[in-house]
Structure 1
Amino acid sequence: MSRKKNVEQIYGGTTIFTGLSFQIHSGEIIGLVAEMVKGNLRLQGLLVLKTLLQERLAGKKESTKGMLAQTPAREDITIYDLLQRRTKSIATAITTLIPTFPEHLGLEATLNTYGSLLDQFEKAGGYETEANIRRVAAGLGIADLLEKNLVDLKRGERTKVELAELLLQKPDLLILDEPTNHLDIYALDWLSKWIKDYTGSVFIISHDRTFLDDTVTKIWELEHGELFIYHTNYTDYVMEREARILRQFQHYEDQQKKIKKMTETIKRLKEWANRAKPPNASMHRQAKSMEKALNRIKRLQRPVETKQVALAFDTEQRSGNDVFTCENIVKHFDNTPIFNGVSLHIRHGERVAIVGPNGAGKSTLIKTLLRQHDVDSGEVTVGHNISIGYLSQHLEFGTSTDTVLSAFRNAATVTEAEARHILAKFLFYGYDVFTSVSDLSGGESMRLRLAQLMQQHHNVLVFDEPTNHLDIDSKEMLEEALESFQGTLIAVSHDRYFLNKSLSTTLWLEDGQLTRYEGPFNYARMKRSE
């Protein structure tokens, strides 16, 4: 178990939290969510909390810890050697120790060391190293990377390898920072099951709401420097949080009424006492006694109301009934088939999800519809009166000298004052609007592009991983904005919560074949499992 009491953390002169106490019991799976605040303060709060957890466990002799970082390391080693490194090092230590057994000097200490190494080897799954590596690699979709060198991998691939290494170590406390990044739908399901079966404790920082629902047994909410603990999953946490805030408002209002009533009573008693001839000492004593009681009341803080910003994707004109049509399209990359006779028909007003495993060609299909890629054979037709708003995974905004403000005004015809007002809704406050676009984080870039699209009034929206890098508040803002959209929506995404809430038709692309399901992601997955 990990325990920490009365922790205070100040960053840049601002108190992130104070009087914070927590404990983690063996076997618990905890998800951390935090409020959306200005700048990087929220990020700093999460990093500090992770540091506290690490430091506490570091002082416990019998506990081990492991953390998945957001920035994977680069190292000159094959993936297989990396994944077997820990058990191999223990095995090497054991084989080095065995020849010393005949020496009578220090034999007892040597035997103790030998026993300890055997325990470590067994706990690390040393006897099943090969099988465990193959199982984890297959689950995370990196089986084809085992013979490659780590330095040659892309960042997303390195992150998955680091996750695999961490899972194989099986620490007592597993700290996972956004573990679902770069995982496809099959790897997400596998990781959820693996975590639910994990015998140690798991601490998860994630914006993947479905993943939190599938795995956690507790939600920790860090809000205005205070930690609230909910013994449930994410969906139930949302409802319990709303109920808690309503109770807080009620308690606050009840106390304010009581304070007001006592204040008025004290005032009246003093007035009556002073009017009496001579002044009434008894009434003065009653007023004084009530004042003391009033001062002893512990004042409740007024709950902070989260203002919901109303955003929408508006359209200026309706598209034709047929938006995109593909007839038996075939495409290869480096002699590898991507589409084998794929056909589709997307009509006005449909909300279509394109899903499938990594590397299936989902982004390629979108770019084919947008005429950014040619096909080897077949026909792609774009309908009439179509205005397309495209959100790519890889965002670019003009030149590196552009600021948030100038990049936004390049895409929207508005005054500077209007632009700054709109950008504030997307969390670009004050001097944030003068930040260079080249310095924006992934989440900031995504919010800027969404702000642009909402001002352009397209009747067809094509999104490629739109919830990547967005926190939960921003995801919900996007989902609410899409609810009233009257045009056609097409999206590639691994965000199962977003898929089920915002997209009513599913196109499943796998092994070069496209299958249409007249229902959201969960329906499509159910039909494929039948």
Structure 2
Amino acid sequence: MHATGALAAREVTKLYGSQVVLERVSLVVPQRARIALVGSNGSGKSTLLRLLAGLEQPDAGRVERAPAELTVGWLPQEPDARPDESLLDYLARRTGVAEAAVTMDVLAASLEQQPSLAGRYSEALDRFLALGGDDLEARAKGVCAQVGIDPARLDTPVQHLSGGQAARARLAAILLVRTDVLLLDEPTNDLDFAGLELLERSLAATPAALVLVSHDRELLDRAVTRIVELVDGGGGSREWAGGFSEYEAARERARRGEFEAFEHFVAERERVEEGFHRRREWAERATSQRRKKKTRDAAGNLERKLARIERAEKPYEPWKLRLSLRAERRGGNVVAGLEGAVVRRGAFVLGPLDLELRHGDRLAVAGPNGSGKTTLLHALLGRVSLEAGRRMLGAGVVLGELEQGRERFGGSEPLLATVRQETALHEPDARTLLAKFDLAAAHVLRPASSLSPGERTRAALACFMARGVNLLVLDEPTNHLDLEAIEQLEMALAGFTGTVVLVSHDRRFHERFGATQTLQLEPSDTNERTAAKGR
């Protein structure tokens, strides 16, 4: 790694078609920086990371690396394993080792015919070694064991890993990276609490400069010292010192000051305009020329004063999620439950489980990755067969489910058709509903699968609001939502009178959920059976 260096975006602008995503945004990432990018969905956070990583080019402005050999690592928000790519190959690609090895091999093959390439080969070898290519496999075995993946599975295709194991593979890639700058897009997605602690320790210890995008407010308080807020619609950026709590307080003070300045400007302008118009009327009514001149002079003074008033622009107010969840009708006292339920998936066994959900209950399902939290939700909803026991679903239950992968909106049908099917709304009403969730004409006719994860999440929440659900089953609901939308969801749940089942590793969201009971899933190392402890 380089002892000194910096990565910088200089006045970068990026458009997709006619849409301005970033406009004249500048960011300097010095050595050992700890920076978080925040902003609403669509403000350009992931785009800026891709520009910094060199994966895309800006339409204006430039991205600089000093020195030019500065190494930059990037880990994307969504899983990006390639078909049949082994875990070791995935880790080599994500750490930059694979690309460095290919470059080195190509140059080595050409050295005999072109000895002049010796210098470039030496540089490629230095890069390969700096990225940790010489001992990657040995380190990968150690890191996999650390995150809870059997090192013997390094040859296993990533697509054959469970969801929890895939999340640990992403964490392993972060722990293995040896670059000067590390760009992380939602690194906490799908990590359990143990994984979050390991991630935080790794970020604190790494000598790399960090730029991260995350909805995890706890991580933003602990891991960063500088917040860069991107404004919607290519509105530039603002910088704030400190972690998320300091940013939140400072931003609120700044917004309050902006609104007060604007309100003062409007009031002063109205006062002077009223005096000006009054003087004009007096001048027109005056009977003597002397009085008319005096009144006109006074009106002229007021007109000049009006021109001198310092103008304050109305503060920009970004779109906000306005979410209201109401249980339109109450079901029976017992809403749902499991009795002696056992689910088997290969060698994995969940149960036996006894669970009863009554009206108004708030159940938090906890446990490490791989303990069967999502399997439990599927058992409760009838998505998987029970090997033993039975499930219950009360009369009058209107179910709203937010799946971890947002699969409900993963099809090829247009978003509008999917929402109408979910809600039975007429087309104009469905369009109006989606517009309230910032899903306008540009979104509704696109295939649902083409939407971003955040857009699919908002579409699901729109359906909940329209259907008047009284049982909510939420699997990692804060994944892919921006910070303000998460806070709106917290407020909506606080006023929801129905029953909620929650799986979430967002620590602050978990705290504010207000669980009335917790089901802790505990995997057993001896027989791969997961047992449950309620409290």
Give the TM-score taking structure 2 as reference length: 0.77
Matches within 5 A, 1:187-198: 187-198=195-206
Measure the CA separation in 2 of the matches of 1:84 and 1:308: 40
Structure 1: which 5+ runs fail to align? 37-41, 519-530
Match of 1:205 in 2: 213
Residue 409 (structure 1) aligned with residue 409 (structure 2): no
Match of 2:269 in 1: 259
- Relative to structure 1, the CA distance from residue 122 to residue 198 in structure 2 (aligned partners, 3 Å threshold; closer, same or farther) is same
Measure the CA separation in 2 of the matches of 1:110 and 1:448: 56
- Relative to structure 1, the CA distance from residue 273 to residue 31 in structure 2 (aligned partners, 3 Å threshold; closer, same or farther) is same
Deviation digits for residues 430-484 of structure 1 (CA, Å, limit 9, x no counterpart): 4643444454444333333332333333432223333343333443333322222
Matches within 5 A, 1:72-471: 72=80, 74=82, 78-80=86-88, 83=91, 123-124=130-131, 129=136, 132-144=139-151, 145-149=153-157, 161=169, 164-165=172-173, 167-224=175-232, 225-263=235-273, 277-278=289-290, 294-295=306-307, 299-305=311-317, 309-321=322-334, 323-327=336-340, 329-334=341-346, 336-377=347-388, 379-382=389-392, 384-385=394-395, 387-391=397-401, 392-393=403-404, 402-430=413-441, 432-471=443-482
- Relative to structure 1, the CA distance from residue 398 to residue 22 in structure 2 (aligned partners, 3 Å threshold; closer, same or farther) is closer
State the number of aligned residues. Answer: 500
Deviation digits for residues 369-422 of structure 1 (CA, Å, limit 9, x no counterpart): 233433333x33526435151413455669967543343333435444433332
Match of 1:525 in 2: none
Match of 1:63 in 2: 70
Counterpart AA for 1:248: E
Match of 1:30 in 2: 35
Shift of 1:252: 1.3
Aligned-residue sequence identity (percent) comes to 30
Measure the CA separation in 2 of the matches of 1:316 and 1:254: 47
Deviation digits for residues 72-100 of structure 1 (CA, Å, limit 9, x no counterpart): 2527764336646877978x989x99xx9
Shift of 1:175: 0.9
Measure the CA separation in 2 of the matches of 1:71 and 1:350: 34
Measure the CA separation in 1 of the matches of 2:142 and 2:225: 25
- Relative to structure 1, the CA distance from residue 321 to residue 307 in structure 2 (aligned partners, 3 Å threshold; closer, same or farther) is same
Match of 1:490 in 2: 501
Measure the CA separation in 1 of the matches of 2:240 and 2:409: 45
Deviation digits for residues 33-55 of structure 1 (CA, Å, limit 9, x no counterpart): 1235xxxxx26564146415646
Shift of 1:174: 0.8
Deviation digits for residues 290-326 of structure 1 (CA, Å, limit 9, x no counterpart): 7566545552210134566251131412422474243
Matches within 5 A, 1:490-509: 490-504=501-515, 505-509=517-521
Match of 1:47 in 2: 47
Measure the CA separation in 1 of the matches of 2:343 and 2:132: 44
Q: Is the 1:140–1:183 contact (alpha carbons within 8 Å) kept by the matching residues of 2? A: no
Shift of 1:246: 0.9
Comparing 202-211 and 135-144, the one that deviates more: 135-144
Measure the CA separation in 1 of the matches of 2:131 and 2:415: 49
Q: Is the 1:87–1:124 contact (alpha carbons within 8 Å) kept by the matching residues of 2? A: yes
Give the TM-score taking structure 1 as reference length: 0.77
SS of equivalent residue, structure 2 residue 260: helix
Measure the CA separation in 1 of the matches of 2:135 and 2:410: 53
- Relative to structure 1, the CA distance from residue 398 to residue 121 in structure 2 (aligned partners, 3 Å threshold; closer, same or farther) is closer
- Relative to structure 1, the CA distance from residue 146 to residue 296 in structure 2 (aligned partners, 3 Å threshold; closer, same or farther) is farther
Measure the CA separation in 1 of the matches of 2:425 and 2:45: 36
SS of equivalent residue, structure 2 residue 350: strand
Q: Is the 2:323–2:489 contact (alpha carbons within 8 Å) kept by the matching residues of 1? A: no
Q: Is the 1:352–1:503 contact (alpha carbons within 8 Å) kept by the matching residues of 2? A: no
Shift of 1:56: 2.6
- Relative to structure 1, the CA distance from residue 290 to residue 164 in structure 2 (aligned partners, 3 Å threshold; closer, same or farther) is farther
RMSD (Å) for aligned C-alpha atoms = 4.3
Q: Is the 1:66–1:166 contact (alpha carbons within 8 Å) kept by the matching residues of 2? A: no
- Relative to structure 1, the CA distance from residue 143 to residue 187 in structure 2 (aligned partners, 3 Å threshold; closer, same or farther) is farther
SS of equivalent residue, structure 2 residue 467: coil
- Relative to structure 1, the CA distance from residue 332 to residue 160 in structure 2 (aligned partners, 3 Å threshold; closer, same or farther) is closer
Name which of 491, 498, 521 aligns with 1:480. Answer: 491
Match of 2:57 in 1: none
Measure the CA separation in 2 of the matches of 1:265 and 1:178: 56
Measure the CA separation in 1 of the matches of 2:409 and 2:21: 36
Shift of 1:351: 0.5
Shift of 1:192: 1.8
Deviation digits for residues 309-358 of structure 1 (CA, Å, limit 9, x no counterpart): 2511314124224742433x444322x14225433343332101112222
Comparing 64-73 and 269-278, the one that deviates more: 269-278
Counterpart AA for 1:509: L
Structure 2: which 5+ runs fail to align? 1-5, 55-61, 524-528
Measure the CA separation in 2 of the matches of 1:28 and 1:374: 50
- Relative to structure 1, the CA distance from residue 48 to residue 380 in structure 2 (aligned partners, 3 Å threshold; closer, same or farther) is same
Measure the CA separation in 1 of the matches of 2:154 and 2:141: 9
- Relative to structure 1, the CA distance from residue 7 to residue 314 in structure 2 (aligned partners, 3 Å threshold; closer, same or farther) is same
Measure the CA separation in 1 of the matches of 2:410 and 2:522: 37
